[in-house]
Amino acid sequence: MLVLITETPEEGSRIAGRLVAQAIKQTPALRLGLAAGNTPIGLYQNLVDLHRTTRLDFAHVRLFSLDEFIGLPSDSPNSYHRFFHQHLLDHVNFDPAHLHLLNGQAEQDIVSYCVSYERLIRNQGGIDLQILGIGQNGHLGFNEPGSSLNSRTRRSLLSASTKYNLARAFDSESVPEWAVTMGLGAIREAQTLLLLALGAHKAEIVAKALEGPLSAFIPASSIQLHPSVVLVLDRHAAGSLNNQDYYLQQSSQVMENNHWFLEPSFMQVAQTGLPAKP
Ligand code: GLP
């Protein structure tokens, strides 16, 4: 695992944005998995800025989503469908034919809908890069504590703590009971995972996910099984890690060699390790 620790949350969002931008430049038809939540908003803002200033091209990028609420109309201010449009899609040149957001109102039976969503991803060649956040209870997507580490895309009952955390953003609308989420096994099929966590409120769960035992009780710990993971943490979110010194050492290797953003790709580096200094 490649753990990059930044001084500020803004720098974390900037680094994560640059990593995604680099992947798009190297693979214009990148299959990119999007995540919602407060954390990646800055990342998407960075991508929008790069689109504006450097013409980062989304025309060929294939977009998928990680989860969605069940029962919210797609134009609800709280739907992830709306979230992705508001923070990214309305500001870049994506092709609607390449957009595959999970639908929380699918007419189809939910089980066959989830099977068809996974089949769609497989038929497109799988996800190259999956953006992830982490819930304060350790959820990934909406895989709540107790999710099988090999779970598949499915309907998921939201836990009380997740509903409590979401309620602040939901204003007048009540938080749905159910969501549809890619399962932990399905998420791990992505070639590279990019997990972003920012802020002191994420410190404890980040440490459990990264350094605690692999456990269905901490769904995000399942990333420990993946061969190519990059974590971008600000120093507050990294604050409870035992192995922090080593991660800081890794981070300075990466930040000092700025050229690393170009060659080889960070997705390769996540898998094969840091290149030696020139
Ligand atoms: C949400 C989403 C997750 C997200 C997480 C953290 O409920 N389903 O995909 O990573 O919770 O959200 P935030 O970034 O707002 O803390």
Distance, in Å, from the CA atom of 51 to the CA atom of 77, rounded to the nearest integer, reads 25
Measure 94 CA to ligand 1 centroid, in angstroms. Answer: 24
Q: How far apart are CA 268 and CA 6, in angstroms?
A: 21
Residue 82 lies in a domain: yes
Helices 41-54 & 9-26, crossing angle to 10 degrees?
A: 50
Range of the domain at 84: 2-272
Does residue 230 lie within any of the structural domains?
yes
Cβ contact 263:187 at 8 Å: no
Taking a C-beta distance cutoff of 8 angstroms, is the pair 114, 180 a contact? Answer: yes
Tell me what pLDDT residue 107 has. Answer: 78
Name 259's Cβ contacts closer than 8 Å, sequence gap at least 6.
Answer: none
Q: Which residues contact 94 (CB under 8 A, 6 or more apart)?
A: 58, 59, 61, 63
Which atom of ligand 1 is closest in space to residue 66's alpha carbon?
Answer: 9
Q: Which atom of ligand 1 is nearest to the CA of 38?
A: 15
Rounded to whole angstroms, the Cα distance separating 153 from 144 reads 13
DSSP labels, 118-133: HHHHHHTT--SEEEE-
**Residue 118: active-site member:** no
Of 141, 276, 157, 125, which is closest to residue 222 (Cα–Cα)? Answer: 141
| Distance of alpha carbon 124 from alpha carbon 103, whole angstroms | 18
Q: 35 CB under 6 A from ligand 1?
A: yes
Q: Give me ligand 1 centre to Cα 261, in Å.
A: 27
Q: Taking each helix axis from N to C terminus, what angle separates 80-87 and 41-54, rounded to the nearest 10 degrees?
A: 40
**From its phi and psi, is residue 276 left (phi > 0), alpha (psi between -120 and 50) or beta?**
beta
Q: Is 83 in the pocket of ligand 1 (CB under 6 A)?
A: no
Residue 229 lies in a domain: yes
Q: Pick the catalytic residue from 51, 81, 87, 137.
A: 137
- How confident is the model at residue 264, as a pLDDT? 62
Ligand 1 neighbourhood includes 38 CB (under 6 angstroms): yes
Pick from 266, 272, 137, 107: nearest CA to 208: 137
Asked about 98 being catalytic, the answer comes back as no
What's residue 221's pLDDT? 98
- How many Cα atoms occupy the beta-carbon half-sphere of 150 within 13 Å? 0
Q: What is the pLDDT of residue 275?
A: 67
- Answer yes or no: is 101 within a domain: yes
What total number of domains does the chain contain?
1
pLDDT for res 216: 98
| Domain CATH for 129 | 3.40.50.1360
Is 139 assigned a catalytic role? yes
Q: Does 144 qualify as catalytic in the annotation?
A: yes
Q: What is the pLDDT of residue 40?
A: 98
Assigned domain for 130 exists = yes
Ligand 1 site, residue 229, Cβ cutoff 6 A: no
Query: For residue 263, what pLDDT is reported?
Result: 58
User: Residue-wise pLDDT tens for the chain (278 aa)?
Assistant: 999 999 999 999 999 999 999 999 999 999 999 999 999 999 999 999 999 999 999 999 999 999 999 999 888 999 999 999 999 999 999 999 999 999 998 878 999 999 999 999 999 999 999 999 999 999 999 999 999 999 999 999 999 999 999 998 887 788 999 999 999 999 999 999 999 999 999 999 999 999 999 999 999 999 999 999 999 999 999 999 999 999 999 888 887 766 555 456 777 777 777 766 65
Q: Is residue 277 part of a domain?
A: no
